[in-house]
Structure 1
Amino acid sequence: MQILKIRQDKRRPKFAVVELDNNENYKVYKSVIKKYGLRKGDELNENKLNELLQWDEFYRAKDVALKYFSYRQRSEYEIQAKLTKSKFKPYIIKKVIDNLKSVGLINDLEFAECFAKNALNKRLISKNLMKKKLLEKGISKEIINNVLQKYFSNLDENAIVRKLAIKQLKKYQKLKPKSTDKEHFIRLAAFLTRRGFSWDVISRVCRGMLNINSVDEI
């Protein structure tokens, strides 16, 4: 097969169209053209064409991954899931991930630390909920343990729960002024449980705030 013409794709600046003498046209990344130094008149056999198309798929997948990074930092699992959803082949996905790791764009430890710091800065969050969220991002248990030790070991969960409970109780009292302390306790307990705090801490703090001596009174 011989290349008859290489022309710029009018709609997509990153792409060029390679026209062959067998009436086949291929739209590929210009990076592929540059990588192989392709020119009009060059001969391509099937193996070379397949190699070019594999590199084109790599650049397409990498472009999808980089755009995904534009919103925020991503874990390896998130990138893999995104590329899998975009229907890229497994070996292409692995190649992209290895490439992004080599330049430091994928680093699960940095991601987990950044995720934890941002969560703590934005809102009060429990150690258990942070663990759950990091597991959902595909972070390894070893990294999670290191991050929790670094950012959560010195946090006073009693103080955090009390602060959250006071804020939430004010909302409940405003929305439902006729509710009893027991009813407020039930709502607060459900809210704080969803945040991942332990029942012992929730029960102790909320009973103290609402003057409930025992959960048996509820």
Structure 2
Amino acid sequence: MPTITKISKQKKSSDRYNIFLNDNYAFSVTEDIFIKFNLRKGLTLTEEEIETIRENETWHCFYVEAIRFLSYRMRSKQEMRNYLKKQEVAPSIIDEIIARLEKEKYINDIEFAKAFVRDRMSQTSKGPRLIVKELTDKGVKAETANEAITLYSYERQCQIALKWAQKQLKRKSNKSYKKQNEALKIKLMQKGFDSDVVNEVFDEIKPPIDKEAELAALEVQAKKIYRRYEKKYQDNELIMKLKASLYQRGFQGDLINEYIAKLDK
């Protein structure tokens, strides 16, 4: 019968023990498994007992790895499952580890989702729809994500969207005032804010038109259009094409006429 004839601590891992059976190295175990099976010199083991110890050691090592993965930040159940799959852990062991992690409250998707929402609210300018999508992409159930997103109040959404919009309005642009506002509204929607929030933001900021900046943007666009059309059209037809293109780009009629008047001089 295999008998433990020697036990030694590993030099690089003080919490691991090398087990020798009949004077030959057999396997190593962590201190938890060492204590669990009461391993000691002179203990006789059956082949089934040895296999059980090895299986428990494997399970324990993967469990410790799961805890390490959680030490960096909270994880959703699906994130943990995906991680263990990458570590080539058997599906049955993954289920057992996740069940234990849930029982010990290391994994809790509703708490994870709430923490995720709070983080996104404080660290990003994303709207609720985008945050819910991020959560579902991480494997969080839709109803759980929707419950967590209630932490993101309407007032908070308006504050964050307004702050972001005001920063955008300070940037220089060659687009018309109208097109800039249209683009800003689209971006806010793309960031996950609903139309009622977007409309309230624009009611708040009421971005004033800067005539000088608008005229400068118009001139940039007009020169590009003029170069594109001057070989195809002439005289009034060229002017009409230029006007039409500028209207399509959202520039006001009085500014367009002001620019055209300069061309005629």
User: One fold, TM greater than 0.5?
Assistant: yes
Cα distance in structure 2, aligned partners of 1:75 and 1:46: 39
Sequence identity (%): 28
Correspondences of 1:1-218 after superposition (within 5 Å): 1-21=2-22, 23-149=24-150, 151-152=151-152, 154-155=154-155, 157=157, 160-170=160-170, 172-173=171-172, 178-181=174-177, 184-185=180-181, 188=184, 191-198=187-194, 209=207, 218=250
Cα distance in structure 1, aligned partners of 2:183 and 2:43: 73
For the 8 Å contact 1:188–1:206, the answer to whether it is kept is no
Deviations 1:154-211 (CA, angstroms, capped at 9, x unpaired): 34655543321111232x32xx5x5543564476456434422346865885695376
For the 8 Å contact 1:57–1:92, the answer to whether it is kept is no
Deviations 1:120-168 (CA, angstroms, capped at 9, x unpaired): 122332110110111122111221121123x135346555433211112
For the 8 Å contact 1:15–1:28, the answer to whether it is kept is yes
| AA matched with 2:167 | K
Q: 1:48 to 1:121 in 2, by over 3 A?
A: same
Unpaired segments ≥5 residues, structure 1: none
Cα distance in structure 2, aligned partners of 1:29 and 1:209: 65
SS of residue paired to 2:95: helix
Rg bigger for which structure?
2
For the 8 Å contact 1:185–1:210, the answer to whether it is kept is no
Q: 1:12 to 1:165 in 2, by over 3 A?
A: same
For the 8 Å contact 1:6–1:39, the answer to whether it is kept is yes
Q: 1:120 to 1:23 in 2, by over 3 A?
A: same
SS of residue paired to 1:117: helix
What is the TM-score when the length of structure 1 is the normalising length?
0.81
For the 8 Å contact 2:5–2:23, the answer to whether it is kept is no
Cα distance in structure 2, aligned partners of 1:121 and 1:205: 19
Cα distance in structure 1, aligned partners of 2:249 and 2:202: 13
Cα distance in structure 1, aligned partners of 2:14 and 2:191: 47
Deviations 1:38-80 (CA, angstroms, capped at 9, x unpaired): 1112222222112111111121112111111221112111111
What is the TM-score when the length of structure 2 is the normalising length?
0.68
Unpaired segments ≥5 residues, structure 2: 210-247, 251-265
Cα distance in structure 2, aligned partners of 1:217 and 1:180: 7
Q: 1:157 to 1:34 in 2, by over 3 A?
A: closer
Cα distance in structure 2, aligned partners of 1:43 and 1:210: 87
